[in-house]
């Protein structure tokens, strides 16, 4: 491919920062494996690592990054790091301390991007501030060690608004602890409401997105608002789906397109979103898959390919918060 034909590998955010279009996802990456995955990714050219406090592996990610930076070929500024505010820490007095815990675990002084992980707040779950990592009893999803009786037995905290959380996140950006802030799992109405009061607009909306869940209207709306879109589980979250559910990587239509271009099904699925200007963060701990997932810039899907994949859209969510929280966030 000539210099003139080279495809963009970054998306420019509202701040002017350039975010790599492909990053390594670390959700469901196991302890003892995620650090090696990060080093393998950096070694083959990734400059974007997506993580979250909720994944309980940030300390290992941080140790891997420290080893990379110690090597001297790359500095902190060369690697884009995304983190996320966990559900139990939405009250304004908990937001910055939780960010500082993420920075401590990762061993960095700032994040390039910090996202509100879900538009749902949980009751506060205590943790040891000033200590890297979490002990084995810490369970932010299950609200471990918290007496929920005063909250009617529910872990959902209805006493804090998205606005309160967002304004506390804005303060963190102004303090220089993060360069950009954004959201995850936000629908268009939630973003619309956020934009009515935000003094710093969200830079990114990260949502589940793959050929079976393309969300074209949400992508169009976000991009019109100069909000970049990141696709999590862009290969259909093999670690999360149930045996009876459809498979993105096993889809025959994608296999035919992959054969046509002499690429893998994963590369075609990722290329579809990249070609729409959507950032992708495929998770893998397999060095070969990690390398292949980055190699989506040396081929292009033609109009027929894009139309064929577009016709696969089933609005199929593998992640269904109504099953976890009793909140039909993505209900039709």
Which entry of 55, 89, 127, 232 is annotated as an active-site residue?
Answer: 55
Q: Catalytic site residue 55?
A: yes
Distance CA 327, CA 159 (A): 16
Q: Is 163 helix (H, G, I), strand (E, B) or coil?
A: helix
* Separation CA 123–CA 292 (nearest Å): 41
Report which of 112, 96, 65, 86 is spatially closest to residue 228, judged by C-alpha positions: 112
Q: How far is it, in rounded angstroms, from Cα 201 to Cα 215?
A: 21
Distance (Å, whole) CA 254 – CA 308: 9
What distance in Å separates the CA atoms of residue 107 and residue 86, rounded to the nearest whole number?
A: 18
Helix H segments across the chain?
34-43, 58-70, 92-106, 162-174, 188-195, 216-224, 252-261, 265-275, 287-294, 303-310, 321-324
Q: Where are the beta strands (DSSP E) in 48-144?
A: 48-50, 80-85, 113-116
Residues 68-106, buried b or exposed e (16+ Cβ, 10 A)?
bbeeeeeeeeebbbbbbbbbbbbbeebbbebbebbbbbb
DSSP 242-253: -TTS--STT-HH
SS3 content of the chain, % helix, strand, coil (to 5): 35, 15, 50
Dihedral sign of CA atoms 278, 68, 292, 285 in order: negative
The catalytic residue positions are 55
């Amino acid at each position: 491919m000539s210099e003139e034909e080279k495809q963009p590998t970054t998306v420019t955010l509202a701040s002017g920062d350039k975010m790599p279009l492909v990053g390594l996802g670390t959700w469901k990456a196991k302890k003892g494996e995620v650090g090696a995955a990060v080093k393998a990714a950096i070694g083959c050219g990734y400059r974007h690592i997506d993580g979250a406090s909720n994944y309980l592996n940030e300390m290992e990610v941080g140790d891997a990054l420290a080893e990379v930076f110690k090597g001297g070929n790359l500095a902190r500024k060369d690697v884009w790091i995304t983190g996320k505010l966990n559900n139990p820490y939405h009250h304004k007095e908990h937001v910055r301390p939780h960010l500082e815990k993420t920075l401590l675990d990762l061993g960095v002084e700032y994040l390039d991007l910090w996202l509100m992980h879900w538009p749902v707040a949980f009751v506060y779950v205590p943790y040891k501030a000033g200590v890297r990592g979490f002990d084995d009893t810490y369970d932010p999803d299950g609200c471990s060690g918290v007496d929920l009786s005063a909250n009617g037995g529910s872990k959902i905290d209805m006493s804090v608004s998205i606005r309160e959380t967002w304004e506390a996140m804005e303060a963190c950006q102004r303090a220089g602890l993060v360069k950009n802030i954004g959201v995850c799992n936000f629908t268009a109405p939630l973003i619309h409401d956020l934009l009515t009061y935000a003094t710093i607009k969200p830079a990114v909306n990260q949502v589940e997105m793959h050929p079976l869940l393309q969300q074209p209207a949400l992508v169009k709306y976000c991009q019109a608002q100069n909000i970049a879109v990141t696709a999590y589980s862009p290969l259909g979250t093999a670690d999360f789906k149930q045996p009876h559910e459809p498979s993105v990587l096993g889809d025959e239509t994608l296999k035919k397109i992959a054969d046509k271009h002499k690429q893998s099904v994963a590369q075609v699925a990722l290329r579809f979103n990249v070609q729409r200007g959507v950032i992708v963060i495929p998770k893998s701990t397999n060095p070969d898959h990690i390398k292949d997932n980055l190699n989506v810039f040396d081929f292009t899907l033609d109009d027929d390919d894009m139309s064929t994949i577009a016709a696969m859209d089933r609005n199929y969510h593998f992640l269904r918060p109504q099953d976890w929280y009793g909140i039909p966030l993505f209900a039709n």
